[in-house]
């Protein structure tokens, strides 16, 4: 059914391309889907199918596709100054203006930004910065970082190590030493019969147990996503973050909130930390920073940490493309759109409540054990038995559902048997209706295959 142009592209993929997170043999047997253009919340593939992108690319296209303002910002900057570095005691206006624009929306007391090229590099920066910080304070033994099982912090060596994806750890002898993991606050999947709030407390308390087990004098930081994204949109019970805050207040360790997904409006607040009332010391960012139009990441740093870094001599860390002027110009324009068009406020007041109400209707579906979400993210747990939460014995029902989605013109991502969404923040109520109708159709088609 593929046309000849599509077949040619698929052949190029097979012959020359190694895509990320892919089973090469399986993909080559089937042929990749070629996406050729996009507008608003829609993608088009090479065969002319229109697809509603309920994942905003990979959690990043917050302002939607086709924003000329971002194209203009990039081309203007490319003409003016396409590249210069920030190493030689030099800087350029876009990076400086962007640092200020980020400080303006960041939580109070977080006024500096270290720029990187991606979220993974941001988390590598976190690892180096927190260890450097404690070394400056004369406590070099304080270097263990506590992360969470099934957390995601990227795919570089530090990113994978800080993350808690066991399949990723299994390739390449990771995590590196000095990183420990505690359980995730995944009530539906791991809370069994417990009350969700009691479960949230119990899981949060593992942080304190781990700190005591390791010795506070060895622990440098705790890192967590406000809401786990790639792990399956894991939304902690309400009791979880307040308890974590209580624990962190008792110990002298840094709190790193990985805002790569939650940042820039995803929850209806500028940052997930605002949504939960958390006050982290470092916030890795990427994705929505540029709405994915061009790669860029960074780490937003609390003033007290900056004051310590100021006393530490040279920080031997950085990237050729740290604060790249074109990326910075695009990010600045992206933040202007988010601000001046009131996109984050509209998510909070209007479209997120609407999406969440409609998304929860899907809980009535025979395949769906739980429909949950916050702001512009959501998850559906596919189960064989809604009462006992029993999963399907044969793996791959999530992938089956994802295939039905693509065929029906909808991108939903599968994380095991959990279907997840994270649409562009500009999605309208009519487009949300279309998303829900399509999701229901795809669930029906999946149910016909397995029930
Ligand atoms: C995507 C992601 C990363 C990694 O970002 P890349 O730009 O892919 O390197 C890190 N942390 C979280 C929470 C992410 O979702």
Report the separation in Å between the CA atom of 152 and the middle of ligand 1, taken as the mean of its atom positions: 7
Residue 181, H or E segment = strand 179-182
292: helix, strand or coil? coil
The DSSP string of 22-75 is --HHHHHHH-PPPEEEEEBTEEEETT--EEEETTHHHHT-TT-B--HHHHHHHH
Site to probe by mutation for ligand 1, drawn from 120, 156, 227 as the one with most ligand atoms within 8 Å of Cβ, is: 120
229: helix, strand or coil? coil
Dihedral of alpha carbons 63, 66, 68, 70, sign:
positive
- For ligand 1, atom 6: residue with the closest CA: 119
Which residues are within 8 A (CB) of 198 and not within 5 positions of it... i.e. 6 or more apart? 239
Pick the atom of ligand 1 nearest to 230's CA: 15
Report the separation in Å between the CA atom of 154 and the middle of ligand 1, taken as the mean of its atom positions: 5
pLDDT at residue 451 is higher than 90: no
pLDDT of residue 213: 98
Angle between helices 429-450 and 397-407 (to 10 degrees): 130
pLDDT in tens, 428-443: 999 999 999 999 999 9
Report the separation in Å between the CA atom of 225 and the middle of ligand 1, taken as the mean of its atom positions: 10
Q: Is the CB of 185 under 6 A from ligand 1?
A: no
d(CA 409, CA 313): 54
Report the separation in Å between the CA atom of 366 and the middle of ligand 1, taken as the mean of its atom positions: 33
Which two tokens mark 430?
């009519």
Sheet with 42-45, strands from edge to edge, namely 35-39, 42-45, 50-53, 410-411
Which two tokens mark 342?
């009131």
DSSP at 393: S
d(CA 200, CA 204): 6
DSSP at 289: G
Peptide bond into 242 cis (omega under 30): no
pLDDT in tens, 286-316: 999 999 999 999 999 999 999 999 999 999 9
Count of CB atoms within 10 A of residue 23's CB? 8
Q: Is the CB of 120 under 6 A from ligand 1?
A: yes
Q: Is the CB of 229 under 6 A from ligand 1?
A: yes
Q: Is the CB of 278 under 6 A from ligand 1?
A: no
pLDDT at residue 1 is higher than 70: no
CB distance 178 to 213 below 8 Å = no
Which residues are within 8 A (CB) of 286 and not within 5 positions of it... i.e. 6 or more apart? 60, 116, 118, 119, 122, 260, 295, 296, 297, 298
pLDDT of residue 357: 98
- For ligand 1, atom 11: residue with the closest CA: 153
Which residues are within 8 A (CB) of 220 and not within 5 positions of it... i.e. 6 or more apart? 130, 131, 133, 134, 142, 143, 144, 145, 253, 254
Strands 144-148 and 179-182: parallel
pLDDT at residue 191 is higher than 80: yes
pLDDT in tens, 131-161: 999 999 999 999 999 999 999 999 999 999 9
182: helix, strand or coil? strand
Site to probe by mutation for ligand 1, drawn from 260, 291, 298 as the one with most ligand atoms within 8 Å of Cβ, is: 260
Q: What is the pTM of this model?
A: 0.98
Site to probe by mutation for ligand 1, drawn from 223, 232, 261 as the one with most ligand atoms within 8 Å of Cβ, is: 261
Pick the atom of ligand 1 nearest to 228's CA: 13
Rounded-to-10 torsion of CA 171, 177, 180, 184 = -20
CB distance 40 to 51 below 8 Å = no
pLDDT of residue 3: 85
Mean pLDDT calculated for residue range 10-31: 95
Please identify which residue in the block is written with the tokens 């562009």: 424
Average pLDDT, the chain: 97
Residue 222, H or E segment = strand 219-224
Residue 138 burial (CB < 10 Å; 0-12/13-18/19+)? exposed
pLDDT at residue 336 is higher than 70: yes
Q: Is the CB of 289 under 6 A from ligand 1?
A: no
Q: Is the CB of 265 under 6 A from ligand 1?
A: no
Q: Is the CB of 153 under 6 A from ligand 1?
A: yes
Q: Is the CB of 118 under 6 A from ligand 1?
A: yes
pLDDT in tens, 90-127: 999 999 999 999 999 999 999 999 999 999 999 999 99
Closest by CA to 260, choosing from 300, 203, 221, is: 300
Q: Is the CB of 179 under 6 A from ligand 1?
A: no
d(CA 436, CA 434): 5
pLDDT at residue 274 is higher than 70: yes
Q: Is the CB of 152 under 6 A from ligand 1?
A: yes
pLDDT at residue 2 is higher than 80: no
d(CA 344, CA 94): 23
Which two tokens mark 416?
């095991």
Report the separation in Å between the CA atom of 116 and the middle of ligand 1, taken as the mean of its atom positions: 12
With cut-offs at 50, 70 and 90, classify the pLDDT of residue 17: very high
């Amino acid at each position: 059914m593929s046309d000849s142009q599509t077949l040619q592209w698929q052949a190029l993929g097979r012959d020359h391309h190694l895509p990320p997170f892919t089973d090469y043999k399986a993909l080559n047997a089937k042929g990749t889907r070629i996406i050729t253009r996009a507008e608003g919340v829609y993608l088009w593939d090479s065969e002319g199918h229109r697809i509603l992108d309920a994942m905003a690319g990979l959690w990043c296209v917050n302002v939607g596709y086709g924003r000329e303002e971002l194209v203009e910002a990039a081309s203007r900057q490319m003409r003016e100054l396409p590249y210069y570095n920030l190493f030689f005691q030099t800087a350029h206006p876009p990076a400086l203006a962007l640092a200020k624009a980020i400080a303006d929306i960041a939580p109070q007391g977080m006024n500096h930004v270290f720029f990187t090229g991606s979220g993974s590099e941001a988390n590598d920066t976190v690892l180096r910065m927190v260890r450097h910080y404690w070394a400056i304070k004369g406590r070099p033994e304080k270097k263990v970082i506590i992360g969470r099982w099934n957390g995601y912090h990227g795919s570089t060596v530090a990113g994978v190590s800080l993350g808690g994806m066991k399949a990723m750890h299994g390739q390449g002898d990771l995590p590196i030493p000095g990183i420990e993991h505690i359980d995730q606050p995944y009530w539906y999947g791991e809370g069994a019969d417990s009350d969700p709030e009691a479960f949230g407390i119990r899981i949060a308390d593992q942080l304190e147990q781990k700190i005591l087990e390791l010795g506070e004098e060895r622990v440098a930081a705790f890192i967590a996503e406000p809401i786990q994204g790639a792990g399956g949109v894991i939304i902690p019970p309400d009791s979880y973050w307040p308890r974590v805050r209580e624990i962190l207040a008792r110990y002298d360790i840094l709190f790193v909130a990985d805002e790569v997904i939650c940042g820039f409006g995803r929850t209806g607040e500028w940052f997930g930390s605002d949504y939960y009332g958390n006050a982290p010391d470092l916030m890795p960012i990427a994705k929505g920073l540029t709405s994915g139009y061009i790669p860029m990441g960074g780490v937003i740093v609390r003033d007290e940490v900056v004051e310590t870094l100021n006393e530490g001599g040279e920080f031997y860390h950085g990237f050729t493309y740290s604060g790249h002027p074109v990326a910075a110009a695009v990010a600045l324009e992206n933040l202007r759109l988010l601000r001046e068009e009131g996109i984050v406020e509209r998510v909070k007041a209007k479209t997120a409540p609407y999406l969440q109400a409609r998304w929860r209707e899907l809980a009535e579906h025979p395949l769906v054990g739980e429909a949950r979400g916050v702001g512009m993210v959501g998850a559906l747990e596919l189960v064989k038995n809604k009462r006992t939460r029993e999963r399907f014995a044969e793996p791959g029902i999530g992938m089956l559902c994802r295939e039905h989605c693509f065929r029906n013109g909808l991108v939903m991502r599968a994380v095991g048997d959990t279907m997840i969404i994270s649409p562009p923040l500009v999605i309208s109520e009519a487009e949300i209706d279309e998303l829900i109708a399509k999701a229901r159709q795809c669930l029906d088609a999946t149910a016909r295959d397995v029930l």
